[in-house]
């Protein structure tokens, strides 16, 4: 019996054949919230497909990368300022899907669902973290309450690592689409997806895919970005729909982070994102800054409270003139 994947494969090959594009140029099909395919095309071939009435749109497979920055290895001390500001609750029985550089499977402060974790860069490999960023995000959300290391906002939540970025913090947008489609097939309503990443431009396809999954009751926490510009200039930060939360960053004094993107048209809340200590690769701990750190604070809140997000105060010196509310558990 033919599967949906077989059908998509035939449809993709049919579209390519119609435009005299060799079948060997097809790389993979996308099944789930965004049905489509990835193929190696010339600019002329891409234009032909774009003009096809049966093709909704064609976008380049962009390079997605983490914001530049540095990290400092540190000795942890359980609850950090960000978690104290946000609040803490029991994350047991909850699931967070982290689209990032992978997660350290063996970190003593994390509970990783190794079975459902997946590597979209190398499907034969594990979704382990050879960068550190994804592990740092995971700890902010769910580092366990075990009297060592650090404490997450929702300690004990189960972490599913979806590796779309390599050791340099870069990856293709097609990997993100594959990860999102995997989530659409595997996640349950009430699960949370953390996206501490983004393209440097607008992707209608990426925005729509996130919206389609969110419409199923799956919650998204998305970093606003670190370019000190309007958040509506990049995807998926600009995605705006129910169950999607774009997050700006504040420091320990409640001041808007100088690097944080802004704009009340798409930014929903602010959360701690400066000098955040959390778990890191190879069982270590490190201090990082960025909206990449703010989003997982919100992800933890969503795990605990669903969409009933509470607030404590507003961000100082918000550059758009309308202060973002600071998200909180209680």
Most confident of 14-18, 200-204, 321-325: 321-325
* pLDDT bracket for residue 321 (50, 70, 90): very high
Show which residues are catalytic. 100, 133, 292
Residue 101 has pLDDT above 90, yes or no: yes
Residue 287 has pLDDT above 50, yes or no: yes
Residue 90 has pLDDT above 90, yes or no: yes
pLDDT (0 to 100) of residue 54:
82
User: Which two three-digit tokens encode residue 79?
Assistant: 């609850």
Instruction: Encode pLDDT of 25-37 as tens digits.
Output: 988 887 766 678 8
Task: Indicate if the alpha-carbon torsion angle 306, 262, 174, 38 is positive or negative.
Answer: positive
* pLDDT bracket for residue 69 (50, 70, 90): low
Closest by Cα among 6, 303, 328, 327 to 158: 303
Beta strands in the chain (DSSP E): 26-30, 36-39, 63-65, 72-73, 95-100, 118-119, 158-163, 170-172, 192-195, 219-223, 244-250, 267-272, 276-280, 284-288, 310-314, 325-328
* pLDDT bracket for residue 213 (50, 70, 90): very high
- Give first-to-last CA distance, the chain, whole Å: 52
Between 68 and 303, the more confident residue is 303
Residue 282 has pLDDT above 70, yes or no: yes
| Structural domains in the chain plus CATH codes | 4-58 (no CATH), 64-328 (3.40.50.200)
Q: Give CA–CA dist 275/290, Å, rounded.
A: 9
* pLDDT bracket for residue 220 (50, 70, 90): very high
pLDDT (0 to 100) of residue 85:
97
Residue 170 has pLDDT above 80, yes or no: yes
Q: Give CA–CA dist 125/226, Å, rounded.
A: 30
pTM value? 0.91
Q: What angle do CA 102, 33, 293 make, to 5 degrees?
A: 35
> If phi over 0 gives left and psi between -120 and 50 gives alpha, with beta otherwise, what is residue 283?
left
């Amino acid at each position: 019996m033919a599967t949906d994947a077989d059908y998509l494969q035939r449809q993709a090959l049919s579209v390519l054949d119609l435009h005299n594009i060799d079948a060997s140029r097809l790389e993979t099909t996308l099944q789930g919230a965004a049905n489509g395919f990835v193929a190696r095309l010339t600019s002329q071939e891409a234009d032909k497909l774009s003009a096809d009435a049966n093709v909704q749109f064609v976008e380049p497979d962009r390079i997605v990368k983490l914001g530049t920055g540095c990290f400092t290895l540190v000795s942890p001390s359980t609850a950090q300022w960000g978690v104290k500001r946000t609040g803490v609750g029991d994350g047991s029985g909850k699931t967070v899907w982290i689209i990032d550089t992978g997660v350290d499977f063996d970190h003593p402060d994390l509970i990783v669902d190794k079975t459902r974790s997946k590597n979209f860069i190398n499907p034969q490999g594990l979704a382990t973290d050879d960068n550190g960023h994804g592990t740092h995000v995971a700890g902010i959300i769910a580092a366990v309450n075990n009297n060592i290391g650090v404490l997450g906002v929702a300690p004990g939540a189960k972490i599913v690592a979806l590796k779309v970025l390599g050791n340099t913090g870069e990856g293709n947008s097609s990997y993100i689409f594959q990860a999102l489609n995997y989530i659409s097939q595997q996640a349950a309503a009430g699960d949370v997806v953390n996206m501490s990443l983004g393209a440097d431009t607008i992707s209608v396809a990426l925005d729509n895919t996130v919206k389609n999954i969110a419409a199923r009751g799956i919650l998204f926490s998305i970093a606003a970005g670190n370019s000190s510009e309007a958040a509506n200039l990049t995807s998926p930060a600009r995605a705006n729909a129910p169950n999607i939360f774009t997050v700006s960053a504040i420091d320990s004094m409640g001041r808007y982070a100088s690097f944080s993107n802004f704009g009340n048209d798409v930014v929903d809340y602010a959360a701690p994102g400066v000098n955040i200590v959390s778990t890191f690769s190879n069982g270590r701990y490190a201090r990082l800054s960025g909206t990449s750190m703010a989003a997982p604070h919100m992800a933890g809140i969503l795990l605990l409270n669903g969409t009933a997000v509470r607030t404590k105060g507003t961000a100082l010196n918000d550059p758009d003139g309308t202060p973002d509310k600071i998200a909180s558990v209680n």
